[in-house]
Amino acid sequence: MGIRTGTDDAFKTRDLFEREITALKSIGHPHVPCYIDSFAEDFHGEERLYLVMEHVNGKNLAQIVKEQRINLDRVMNIAKQVTNILSYLQEFTPPIVHRDIKPDNLIETPDGKIKLIDFGSVNDAIAQGTRRTWTSVGTAGFAAPEVLLGKAFPASYIYSLGCTLVYLLSGGADIAREFTNDDHRLDFRGKLNLPAELEALLMRMTEPNVKRRIQTAEE
């Protein structure tokens, strides 16, 4: 993260960064890498802020799906593990929201455990009241519409998880291109040979309207 030193936004961004560090230090989940340290360096008048996290041995899901087809049982196991992580993050007050859940940020270790990485995009609702909106956070095709507009809620990562599961079940397709309908939402019904109950669940997870979407990992 780079910020121009000496500006009002720089002070607010550093404050936000420090608060995010506090949030990261509080996370103690076996499927989330441990926070180790943070530091800053000056680069031509720009202060660059860094987070140091535990190294995770394994391959991310984007790599794995390119190498092999991931069957339904394995996808459901991944879904259960990630939902467990998200449920844990939602228990914080305020909830900790990871704003960039996608296959590249989910690593499967050699023993089959899924770990959620890249917590540099974490947000614990502390950005409210500051001028910084973090509109650059989130990956098109996986980020919920509200995240790309600079807002994030616990339901936002339900959307991202749903997109990730569709991506895995499709064998790594460009889901935005392959499944977006005329109403600008993902519609994969009848195209992935899924059980009807699972298909309906994924449609609810990827509902563009955050108020009509599944709201919590527990749900």
Backbone angles phi, psi at 124, to 5 degrees: -115, 35
Catalytic residue among 8, 9, 37, 100: 100
100 catalytic, yes or no? Answer: yes
CA distance 22 to 122: 11
Catalytic residues: 100
